Structure 1
Amino acid sequence: MSVSALSEFEQQWESWSNEAEELVADQFRHIDRVVERNQQKVIQAFQQYKVSDYHFAGSTGYAYNDRGREVLDKVYAKVFGAEAAIVRPHFVSGTHTIGVALFGVLRPGDELVFVTGRPYDTLHKVIGKAGDGTGSLADWGICSIEVPLLSEGDVDWEGVRASVTERTKVFAIQRSRGYDWRPSFTIAQLEEMIQRLKSLCPEAIVFVDNCYGEFTEEREPTDVGADLIAGSLIKNPGGGIASSGGYIAGKEQYVELASYRLTAPGIGGEVGAMLDTTRSIYQGLFLAPLLVGQAVKGSIFASAIFEQRGFETRPRWNDPRTDLIQAIRFPSADRLIRFVQAIQMAAAVDAHVVPEPWSMPGYEHPVIMAAGTFIQGGSLELSADAPIREPYIAYMQGGLTYAHVKLAVKQVMSQFRELNYL
């Protein structure tokens, strides 16, 4: 791009950026209030359990009586409005954490009902098929039923009601959109859903996949009646610092059952060396409300800019926010790929790398991922990914600083302008 063209673009970008920030000013003020209230909630939990420097000490071997680990579980339970929690670096991903929670409470012959339709791609192998030999839910004789959402993204309550049998043990809800064009579910919506599920089948467990949603609102699913939730520490609650791990929170009896799946029956959460991760997990939780707020602001800004340029986005800039994910629809695979590559170019880490679609483990279509992150796969950091399939939708999430997201969107707009996509 020539110097004069560059100067012209800089002026144009300044105008677009200022217009977008004026448009979203009220949304930003709302996010600031959410950050303040969640920050207060986290600090009060630290104070209640008298978190001190000695809680950050590492542990080895069996790690019996690791007080830092024990208090960390209590702090998480308090923050999430739950009876109990288990927080460990030993969870390798959100999928692993969700799998542990589900295997912990389900038994052969039970039925699992996904009331929000087909779950995220990486859970498909966890669900599995009967006799697949992989140790999936189906391989253990656990039946999974998926009730598709209605066309507008609402729960099909007639379908849910028809799916319930005497074997129904768990209702599963995916809070975020995953790789769908539907809206994510707000806490108010989750509250209504949980109440209806409890009236429909009082003895069933309501499980919520809480990935990408933590601290985007003032309440969590366990505050409004969810029996069990799970999430990843390399997403929201790890604050961009936790290098691995996940959490499960909810009613004590169900958390305990999940802990037996993580380790072994009779051992549960009583052991498990933290291996010098405790400090970063505590500090990440402390920072999480602020950094989630930065990421949400970035998503709102991105939505406004792309809408101004004629692209379709979900959520729109003025829609309620309940997770980090910003979906943007493109007219072709080429523009989708160029978008993801431009996000990578704006990274502080691996900006020189050019992502290409590839067949990733656990996904059914080739996926392209921009992930110039300090923590591999850390999606509280700015990242973007998309399955290469119609409709061509990119899913952008994260951003440890709002300024970084702005720079990334600017990079995309610069690339698109050069390619005559605008």
Structure 2
Amino acid sequence: MQDNIQSDFERQWEQWADAAENLVEPRFRLIDRIVEKNQVKVIQAFQKHRVSDFHFAASTGYGYNDTGREVLDLVYADVFGAEAAIVRPHLVSGTHTISAALFGCLRHGDELLFVTGRPYDTLHKVIGKPGDGLGSLADWGVQTKIVPLLADGSVDWDGITAVVSDRTKVFAIQRSRGYDWRPSFTVGEIGEMVSRLKTLKPESIVFVDNCYGEFTEEREPTEVGVDLIAGSLIKNPGGGLAASGGYIAGKQRLVELAAYRMTAPGIGGEVGAMLGTTRSIFQGLFLAPLLVGQAVKGSVFAASVFANLGFETHPRWDDPRTDLIQAIRFAGAEPLIHFVQSIQKAAAVDAHVMPEPWDMPGYEHPVIMAAGTFIQGGSLELSADAPVREPYIAYMQGGLTYAHVKFAVKQALKEFRTRGYL
């Protein structure tokens, strides 16, 4: 009896997968073209700065005269179309990197204005509250304003215009959706935002949280007028090889200020032993366009399969893609949890571990996370997470190979069939 059920599912799965792949084939061709253009961009940056084997040597102590570190910064700046960049394993997460960028730009009495709604949960403590004693932006006298997005997910320009003040110094844009059921913002849309924001406040700084977005399009935000961007190396640009780190890129002076916050005033990016990480960061950057393309293909496939089975997906399979994240809405907490657990079961690492919702530091609701990854927290690798709250949306991202994502989708649907959700 069980063998018959298994055989029925296998036949059904082949039909679902074949239908989805036939449907998304034109989108896959578009992704391949983006991969090729970004791969050439990266290779040409390597060639321009004459990357050589000796640039991969480890440095120690202060890291003086670490030419590998210096060239890495130059390569990143070119790849992102920026004046300067700083790339370091010492930046422990995307939140740490964004924090360094914002603290570098802002001073007591300044105002930070988020124009794309509430930022990602882990930034809430960075923003803080006046007198919280945590060393947050608010504790240092920086006021933060947040303008919610409109109901359709677009920017509320009337709301922004109403709250801009003489103190407004930094406009912040979160490119990716975070834990929101809204479109992520394309590079073209970000470019339009920059034009309008600079009209409102010409001397302002436009900052973009670029996490999950790198290499999903042919251009990056710094190529359309953004002053400063930040991201994590254990997401897209690390190519699945960088063991830790973050990058900040943009205008020369702003990168310098962020570097002073990262280390200390007067030191900045001039020192910092790379401790043997330089090779993997270079190589990860080289691989990143291809691996990001694999992950995006996996998201497009998942969106097609789940939508065909009646689930709401965001973005849809044929929507423009500007990040790795695929959101899928479920009917309740149980299917949400079982979906995330199925992603874990499909991993090559820690597949035997069963994730459960828990009160994770920096988050306001219990969160369940599937992360069977070679790099802890590596979001270019296949992972899924969800705050266990209505409307019960899981956020799947990454996948170093398309085949892995496809296998994980199959495992999730097998679990759903067993539990009667299908």
Report TM bin, short chain: over 0.9
1:112 paired residue number: 112
1:354, distance to aligned residue in structure 2 (A): 0.5
Q: Secondary structure at the match of 2:64?
A: coil
Tell me the amino acid that sits aligned with residue 198 of structure 1: K
Give, in whole Å, the separation in 2 of the partners of 1:159 and 1:8: 54
Give, in whole Å, the separation in 1 of the partners of 2:13 and 2:335: 20
1:162 paired residue number: 162
Q: TM-score, normalised by structure 1?
A: 1.00
RMSD: 0.5
Give, in whole Å, the separation in 2 of the partners of 1:388 and 1:16: 28
2:234 paired residue number: 234
Q: Deviations over 1:180-235 (max 9, x none)?
A: 00000001100100110011100000000000000000000000000000000000
Tell me the amino acid that sits aligned with residue 157 of structure 1: W
1:2, distance to aligned residue in structure 2 (A): 1.0
1:321 paired residue number: 321
Is structure 2 residue 93 aligned with structure 1 residue 96? no
Give, in whole Å, the separation in 2 of the partners of 1:376 and 1:163: 40
1:163, distance to aligned residue in structure 2 (A): 1.2
State the percentage of identical aligned residues. Answer: 77
Q: Secondary structure at the match of 2:248?
A: strand
1:280 paired residue number: 280
Q: Deviations over 1:148-188 (max 9, x none)?
A: 00000000001111111111100000000000000000011
Give, in whole Å, the separation in 2 of the partners of 1:112 and 1:381: 32
Give, in whole Å, the separation in 1 of the partners of 2:29 and 2:213: 19
Q: Deviations over 1:339-373 (max 9, x none)?
A: 00000000000000000000001000000000000
Give, in whole Å, the separation in 2 of the partners of 1:40 and 1:273: 29
Q: Deviations over 1:28-71 (max 9, x none)?
A: 00000000000000000000000000000000000111000000
Give, in whole Å, the separation in 1 of the partners of 2:131 and 2:123: 17
2:180 paired residue number: 180
Q: Secondary structure at the match of 2:285?
A: helix
Give, in whole Å, the separation in 1 of the partners of 2:191 and 2:13: 41
Q: Deviations over 1:90-135 (max 9, x none)?
A: 0000000000000001000000000001000000000000000000
Q: Secondary structure at the match of 1:418?
A: helix
Give, in whole Å, the separation in 1 of the partners of 2:384 and 2:67: 38
1:409 paired residue number: 409
Q: Secondary structure at the match of 1:113?
A: strand
1:253 paired residue number: 253
Give, in whole Å, the separation in 2 of the partners of 1:365 and 1:413: 26
1:304 paired residue number: 304
Give, in whole Å, the separation in 1 of the partners of 2:83 and 2:173: 20
Q: Secondary structure at the match of 1:253?
A: helix
Tell me the amino acid that sits aligned with residue 47 of structure 1: Q
1:3, distance to aligned residue in structure 2 (A): 1.1
Give, in whole Å, the separation in 2 of the partners of 1:203 and 1:184: 26
Give, in whole Å, the separation in 2 of the partners of 1:136 and 1:308: 45
Give, in whole Å, the separation in 1 of the partners of 2:260 and 2:308: 51
Is structure 2 residue 129 aligned with structure 1 residue 135? no
Give, in whole Å, the separation in 2 of the partners of 1:26 and 1:217: 16
1:5, distance to aligned residue in structure 2 (A): 1.0
Q: Secondary structure at the match of 1:337?
A: helix
Give, in whole Å, the separation in 2 of the partners of 1:382 and 1:168: 38
Tell me the amino acid that sits aligned with residue 41 of structure 2: K
Give, in whole Å, the separation in 2 of the partners of 1:174 and 1:55: 33
1:263, distance to aligned residue in structure 2 (A): 0.5
2:207 paired residue number: 207
1:8, distance to aligned residue in structure 2 (A): 1.1
Q: Deviations over 1:262-315 (max 9, x none)?
A: 011111000000000000000000000000000000000000000011000000
Matches within 5 A, 1:294-373: 294-373=294-373
1:51 paired residue number: 51
Is structure 2 residue 36 aligned with structure 1 residue 36? yes
2:83 paired residue number: 83
1:4, distance to aligned residue in structure 2 (A): 1.3
Q: TM-score, normalised by structure 2?
A: 1.00
> Is there any run of 5+ residues in structure 2 with no aligned partner, and where?
none
Matches within 5 A, 1:383-402: 383-402=383-402
Give, in whole Å, the separation in 2 of the partners of 1:46 and 1:362: 37
Tell me the amino acid that sits aligned with residue 276 of structure 2: D
Give, in whole Å, the separation in 2 of the partners of 1:252 and 1:2: 64
Give, in whole Å, the separation in 2 of the partners of 1:161 and 1:282: 42
2:16 paired residue number: 16
Q: Secondary structure at the match of 1:139?
A: coil
Give, in whole Å, the separation in 2 of the partners of 1:243 and 1:349: 16
Give, in whole Å, the separation in 2 of the partners of 1:9 and 1:404: 19
Give, in whole Å, the separation in 1 of the partners of 2:186 and 2:313: 18
Q: Secondary structure at the match of 1:248?
A: strand
Give, in whole Å, the separation in 2 of the partners of 1:344 and 1:110: 43
Give, in whole Å, the separation in 1 of the partners of 2:63 and 2:161: 46
1:249, distance to aligned residue in structure 2 (A): 0.1
Matches within 5 A, 1:256-267: 256-267=256-267
